[in-house]
Structure 1
Amino acid sequence: MVCGGFTCSKNALCSLNVVYMLVGLLLIGVAVWGKGFGLVSSIHIIGGVIAVGVFLLLIAIVGLVGAIHHHQVMLFFYMVILFIVFLFQFGISCSCLAMNRGQQVVLLNSTWGMLNNKTKVNLEDQLDCCGLLNVSKSRSQFEKDVKNCHAPCKAEGICPSCGDKMLNHAAEALKILGGVGLFFSFSEILGVWLAVRYRNQKDPRANPSAFL
């Protein structure tokens, strides 16, 4: 059986979806582990990671069942949804790789504003810093965050801002995030290509007169 045959396409698509299932389970497990050990206290962050893991797990199950049974409808919905995910992920990955420092500051400000006080305090303790950015636009919020801060550096009287610490590593983190996202986006387009190819192939064990 040549590699481009029905069985090869089926096995490749099944293997790819097994990998997606493992990644989805890993995301769910990491989120639950982080919550259990108190590493992340924000329910929004935990919920977001779990939602992504569950979504990826469901898509992988649809693709796996569709591949095993050569189910035309399931394969169709699988490749359409996976292609939409690819478009979003590819765009976000490219944005991460192209983001400059000014855009990083805007992103940090918007993300910081969505965090609750408990999450901010935990983050300040872990990074040993207080507040986000001491700039005129958000000075009142910065002073409020510093007042509620209990980071170890506060005992010494001088604390760097968390924004400055984050920005020092933001470029490298965004490159890694964008690179990983770009890699997985190409794995998704591979899944779409395999689904289209496999869907249009005829099962050699099926009735020759059956309509595909």
Structure 2
Amino acid sequence: MVCGGFACSKNCLCALNLLYTLVSLLLIGIAAWGIGFGLISSLRVVGVVIAVGIFLFLIALVGLIGAVKHHQVLLFFYMIILLLVFIVQFSVSCACLALNQEQQSQLLEVGWNNTASARNDIQRNLNCCGFRSFNPNDTCLASCLQSSHKCSLCAPIIGEYAGEVLRFVGGIGLFFSFTEILGVWLTYRYRNQKDPRANPSAFL
């Protein structure tokens, strides 16, 4: 059996979609784990992670059914959606890798000011209060506030991890974006191949 044949293309496409299915279930599991252990209380953050997981799961399901049945319409829509996801993910990954320290700081401050519930999670988990300054009248769930120790500001602590996190997220996103373009190429190739078990006089 040649690797460029019908069966090989079908098996590769099925394996790729099984990988996407596992990643989607992992995302949903991480969100559930974060809620269960009290690490994340923001419903918005959890909702976004779960929505991305469900979206990826549905795409993988469409690709898997299309690959198994050699369904032309499902494979076409799968190919188009995967191409759009690739463009968005590749752009975001490159942006994550290209951000300098000043841009990271500005982005973190915007995120800090716009997410109150995530802010409480950060202050509790990192044991800090305020971003660049802290008003004693503001709410802070950090344990340092209940003790006699002075609370650290969150900006320097988050800044230490921001670069590493962005590089990690950008690298993972870049890796998966190349698997997506591989999926688009495999789908295009597979759609134009004829099933050797089918009627030779049938259309593709």
Give the TM-score taking structure 2 as reference length: 0.94
Unaligned runs of 5+ in 2: none
CA distance in 1, matches of 2:120, 2:92: 29
CA distance in 2, matches of 1:12, 1:91: 26
Instruction: Give the letter aligned to residue 131 of structure 2.
Output: L
Task: Report deviation, 1:157.
Answer: 4.2
User: Which ranges in structure 1 are unaligned for 5 or more consecutive residues?
Assistant: 135-141
Using the alignment, how far apart are the partners of 1:36 and 1:129 within structure 2?
22
SS in structure 1 of the partner of residue 138 of structure 2: helix
The count of aligned residue pairs is 203
Which residue is equivalent to 1:177?
A: 169
Asked if 1:153 is matched to 2:144, the reply is yes
Partner Cα distance (2:37, 2:142) in 1: 19
Distance in 2 of aligned mates of 1:44 and 1:147: 22
Distance 2:97 2:181 in 1: 20
**TM-score by structure 1 length?**
0.91
Q: Is structure 2 residue 166 aligned with structure 1 residue 167?
A: no
The answer on 1:122 being equivalent to 2:121 is: yes
Superposed CA RMSD in Å reads 1.4
State how far apart, in whole Å, the 2-side matches of 1:103 and 1:156 are. Answer: 35
CA contact 2:39–2:125 (8 Å) conserved in 1:
no
Q: Which residue is equivalent to 1:196?
A: 188
Correspondence for 1:8: 8
Q: CA separation in 1, counterparts of 2:84 and 2:120? A: 37
Deviation of the 1:126 alpha carbon: 1.1
Q: Which has the higher helix share?
A: 1
- Residues 14-60 of structure 1, C-alpha deviations (whole Å, 9 max, x = no match): 01001101111111111112112211000000000000000000000
